[in-house]
């Protein structure tokens, strides 16, 4: 029996909805085919956006979407993607597969997608190969309501009102594909770019996000915070989970993996907590009397591409193992909501740890989608401190705690989300609630299956949530969590 305690009188604050954010890059079949099919497509669409994908994302709860990259962002010149489609420049996507990018999905299309989804846009600007003027013009094009050259150009292209885009990334992975810079050099550029990213409306202040560290590059965060922290609202962090950390050319398959890779993936996922705590500590040390947030603006699993897929398209299947990775990361972000202000899983459709896969007209929801849907109630809720007495699962250096939990309270009640990481053993959970009002109703849901279980075209519902029995006790509730599962309990 595992004992957990949820303490209603201790909280780190409100879980920012943007912790449940997503990322869409011009990469493989994420934007084209996955989201955007064009107005003339026989796949049902509204203004070119796939209706099935948009509807599914709305149901899951998508607060924010990052675009256009990733590495693509630092090669992207936004003017290539505005104006009449037939005259838009055709370029080569040099980062991802060397395919032709016809720029039919640009600023107007991205912001139309966000309108349909009802989510906040987050645009990553080009620092690696762009100019300060180009970046500054993009902000003006999107946000200037009055008269100005950029506002007039936007109107000529059919958009009268400004979009008031709040979230702007100052480059992406400046230490790597975004320019191979040293942190000192990037910090200076960041100061310069941030200076010319203007606010055009006092009601809509923009939020500037510095390109942050790769995994445990704490020096990057330190230098950027020390030298440019005063110019930005947040600093990012990128950390992808792989089973075999040593070699990027041998990441292991997304399906049909051995149990050792199941546990090593989960063990590597738990490392996110240490990363978040250490980067947050550095941010706090240098932020002065302002609050600078941490945006984990790329996270998720990264496996070998599916056999036969273009290696540059990063297309991978998604199993119960991915569902557990999502549950652990989201629990960690919830429990560190005092510093983690945003997180974006990579990527939205057909790329890496996608919540949706498409094939022609067909679409399926991955196990990761279901975790986001089950965790939706945490968005904007008050995080509650929790403690859990977990046992160990796995073997050797890949031992992990069997249970991982987060909890929050909102007007809809109390939401407790728990993952059982053990591939073989179910777990009896006895959860006590303290410092909370009387609870008289409980509803449980669970997502479970073999670690390698996945949804495929033709068997789209092999993995989906089902009800889970739970019983109220004198001081809380009890439930049995199946092996390899993610459970969500709503109490009122
Ligand atoms: O998500 C795929 C790539 O991973 C992104 O383009 C880049 O930022 C990261 O290295």
**How far is the C-alpha of 10 from the C-alpha of 200, rounded, in Å?**
39
Per the residue annotation, which of 101, 109, 298, 373 is the catalytic one?
298
Residues 6+ away with beta carbon under 8 Å from 200: 139, 140, 143, 144, 145, 146, 162
* Chain centroid, CA 143 distance in Å: 25
Q: What is the pTM of this model?
A: 0.98
Nearest to 204 by CA among 167, 238, 178, 151: 167
The Å distance, Cα 185 to ligand 1 centre, comes to 21
Q: How far apart are the first and last CA of the chain?
A: 24
DSSP 405-438: EEEEEETTEEEEEEEE--SS--EEEEEEEES---
The Å distance, Cα 349 to ligand 1 centre, comes to 14
Three-class SS state of 378? helix
DSSP 222-234: HHHHHHHGGG-SE
Instruction: Give mean pLDDT, residues 432-449.
Output: 96
Instruction: Give mean pLDDT, residues 407-435.
Output: 97
Pocket test for ligand 1, best of 96, 346, 347, 353 (most atoms within 8 A of CB): 346
User: pLDDT, tens digit, for every residue of 150-165?
Assistant: 999 999 999 999 999 9
Residues 6+ away with beta carbon under 8 Å from 461: 455
Ligand 1, atom 3, lies closest to the CA of 70
Pocket of ligand 1 (CB under 6 A): 25, 69-71, 172-173, 298, 346-347, 352
The Å distance, Cα 101 to ligand 1 centre, comes to 17
Q: What is the pLDDT of residue 246?
A: 67
Whether 13 has a pLDDT exceeding 80, the answer reads yes
**How far is the C-alpha of 34 from the C-alpha of 59, rounded, in Å?**
17
Residues 84/102, Cβ–Cβ less than 8 Å? no
Whether 245 has a pLDDT exceeding 80, the answer reads no
Ligand 1, atom 8, lies closest to the CA of 70
The Å distance, Cα 71 to ligand 1 centre, comes to 6
pLDDT range class, residue 17, cuts 50, 70, 90: very high
Residues 352/302, Cβ–Cβ less than 8 Å? yes
Whether 247 has a pLDDT exceeding 90, the answer reads no
Ligand 1, atom 6, lies closest to the CA of 70
pLDDT range class, residue 364, cuts 50, 70, 90: very high
Pocket test for ligand 1, best of 24, 25, 213 (most atoms within 8 A of CB): 25
State the closest ligand 1 atom to the C-alpha of 172, by its place in the atom list counted from 1.
Answer: 8
The Å distance, Cα 308 to ligand 1 centre, comes to 21
Q: Omega into 70 within 30° of 0, i.e. cis? A: yes
Instruction: Give mean pLDDT, residues 290-295.
Output: 97
Ligand 1, atom 2, lies closest to the CA of 70
User: pLDDT, tens digit, for every residue of 255-265?
Assistant: 999 999 999 99
Per the residue annotation, which of 112, 173, 261, 409 is the catalytic one?
173
State the closest ligand 1 atom to the C-alpha of 71, by its place in the atom list counted from 1.
Answer: 6
Which neighbouring-strand residues pair with 479?
429, 470
Q: Could you confirm whether 173 is annotated as catalytic?
A: yes
The Å distance, Cα 267 to ligand 1 centre, comes to 22
Q: Could you confirm whether 385 is annotated as catalytic?
A: no
Whether 397 has a pLDDT exceeding 90, the answer reads no
Whether 284 has a pLDDT exceeding 90, the answer reads yes
């Amino acid at each position: 029996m595992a004992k957990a305690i949820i303490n209603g009188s201790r909280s780190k604050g409100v879980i920012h909805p943007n912790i449940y954010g997503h990322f869409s890059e011009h990469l493989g079949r994420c934007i084209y085919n996955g989201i955007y099919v064009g107005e003339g497509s026989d796949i049902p669409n509204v203004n070119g956006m796939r209706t099935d994908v948009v509807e599914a994302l709305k149901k899951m709860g998508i607060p924010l979407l990052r675009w256009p990259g990733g590495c693509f962002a630092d090669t992207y010149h936004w003017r290539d993607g505005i104006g009449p489609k037939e005259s838009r420049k055709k370029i080569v996507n040099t980062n991802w597969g060397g395919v032709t990018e016809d720029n039919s999905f640009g600023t107007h299309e991205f912001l139309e997608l966000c309108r349909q989804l009802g989510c906040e846009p987050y645009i990553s600007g080009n620092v690696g190969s762009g100019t300060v003027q180009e970046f500054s013009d993009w902000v003006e094009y999107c946000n200037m309501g009055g008269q100005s050259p950029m506002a007039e150009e936007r109107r000529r292209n059919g958009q009268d009102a400004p979009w008031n885009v709040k979230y702007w990334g100052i480059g992406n992975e400046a230490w790597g594909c975004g320019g191979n810079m040293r942190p000192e050099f990037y910090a200076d550029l960041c100061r310069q770019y941030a200076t010319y990213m203007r606010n055009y409306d006092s009601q809509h202040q923009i939020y500037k996000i510095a390109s942050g560290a790769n995994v445990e590059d704490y020096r990057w965060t330190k230098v950027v915070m020390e030298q440019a922290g005063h110019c930005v609202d947040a600093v990012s962090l990128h950390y992808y989970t792989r089973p075999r950390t040593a070699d990027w050319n041998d990441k292991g398959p997304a399906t049909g993996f051995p149990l050792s890779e199941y546990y090593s993936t989960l063990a590597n996922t738990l490392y996110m907590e240490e990363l978040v705590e250490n980067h947050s500590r550095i941010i706090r040390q240098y932020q002065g009397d302002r609050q600078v947030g941490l945006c984990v603006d790329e996270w998720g699993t990264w496996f070998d591409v599916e056999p036969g897929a273009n290696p540059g398209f990063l297309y991978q299947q998604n199993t119960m193992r991915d569902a557990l990775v999502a549950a652990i990361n989201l629990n960690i972000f919830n429990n560190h909501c005092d510093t983690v202000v945003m997180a974006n899983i990579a990527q939205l459709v057909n790329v890496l740890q996608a919540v949706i896969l498409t094939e022609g007209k067909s679409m399926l929801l991955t196990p990761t989608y279901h975790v986001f849907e089950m965790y939706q109630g945490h968005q904007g809720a008050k995080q509650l401190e929790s403690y859990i007495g977990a046992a160990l699962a796995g073997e050797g250096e890949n031992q992990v705690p069997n249970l991982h939990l987060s909890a929050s309270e909102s007007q809809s009640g109390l939401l407790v989300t728990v993952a059982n990481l053990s591939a073989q053993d179910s777990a009896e959970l006895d959860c006590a609630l303290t410092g909370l009002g009387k609870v008289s109703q409980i509803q449980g849901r669970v997502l479970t299956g073999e670690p390698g279980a996945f949804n495929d075209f033709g068997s789209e519902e092999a993995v989906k949530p089902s009800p889970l029995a739970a019983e109220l006790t004198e001081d809380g509730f009890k439930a049995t969590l199946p092996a390899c599962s993610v459970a969500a309990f709503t109490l009122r």
